[in-house]
Amino acid sequence: MAVDSSNMVFFIGAGPGDPRYLTLEGMEALEKCHLVYALPPYPETFSAYLDGKLIRDPFELIFSEINLEVEAALNNGSVGFLVPGDLTVFSPFLPLVEHFGERSLVIAGVGILNAAAALIKRTLDMPDVSHSVVLTSPKHIDKHGDGPSLAELSSAAGTMVLYMVNRPLTDLVEELKPGFEPETPVVVVYRIGLEGQRIYQGTLSDIARVVGEDDIFGLESGKPSLGIVLIGEVLEAHADPSLWNRRKEKFWDKRFR
């Protein structure tokens, strides 16, 4: 049976897990799907938008199995993947996007980093404070081991954002010391937009004490980490209001001359 060419495979940015972070385009795509692949806790948190749809965990299948299942499902309608976290970094879905090619559509969502920055009301770059942001994952560094270490990356970063932390905060702090002073602000945001959401604020020297025994990285439970770590002076630095006036004079006013 030929696949209906009007049916699509949607890769929908689902962010931290709260459906409010879906874009309107993502919501419209999800409505079209009769089969949706979603990891926990997304079947639960998106339940109001998944009623009547077949829900599958994509990691219950190997790559070839999921491709065959999707190919068959496309005969009956469109298929969706709720992509957790950030589509742009550390997402395992690219092989599937490439496999389905022209039949796939990637839809951006509000990712974890955007949601975390909004939650703490900060920008991650600031004139005279930080002009670079390094996004990385200790887990990926450990897994591949052929690039710069976390300590080396911290030395080159103005601001650092860590996904999928796979070690205790005390160990993480020791690795970050080469690049950041002890009083550098640190924020850990856990379960963004979900039940149990927490924001821990401290410095490199005391963040482990602030977090305490909370298993925010799933080291004891074995569950995926739902915490993101942000390090840098921008987390507490004050913006210079005169920059607004200079930008106005340099860019906005010129439009009317």
Report angle CA 139, 170, 17 to the nearest 5 degrees.
50
Helix/strand number for the chain, H first, E second = 10, 10
Distance CA 106, CA 180 (A): 36
Fold of 113-235: 3.30.950
Q: Where are the domains of the chain?
A: 9-110, 113-235
In this model, does residue 99 exceed pLDDT 60? Answer: yes
Report domain 9-110's class: alpha beta
Contact residues for 198 (Cβ-Cβ < 8 A; gap 6+): 189, 190, 191, 214, 216
For the chain, the average pLDDT equals: 91
Give the residue from 62, 63, 60, 96 showing the smallest Cα distance to 79. Answer: 96
Encode pLDDT of 166-199 as tens digits: 999 999 999 999 999 999 999 999 999 888 999 9
In this model, does residue 121 exceed pLDDT 80? Answer: yes
Residue 1 pLDDT: 41
Q: Do the beta carbons of residue 190 and residue 198 sit within 8 Å?
A: yes
Please list the residues that pair with 229 across neighbouring strands: 162, 188
In this model, does residue 224 exceed pLDDT 80? Answer: no
Residue 135 pLDDT: 94
- Rounded to 5 degrees, φ, ψ at 235 are -70, -20
pTM for the full predicted model: 0.88
Distance CA 230, CA 73 (A): 41
Contact residues for 173 (Cβ-Cβ < 8 A; gap 6+): 204, 205, 207, 208
Going by pLDDT thresholds of 50, 70 and 90, the confidence category of residue 134 is very high
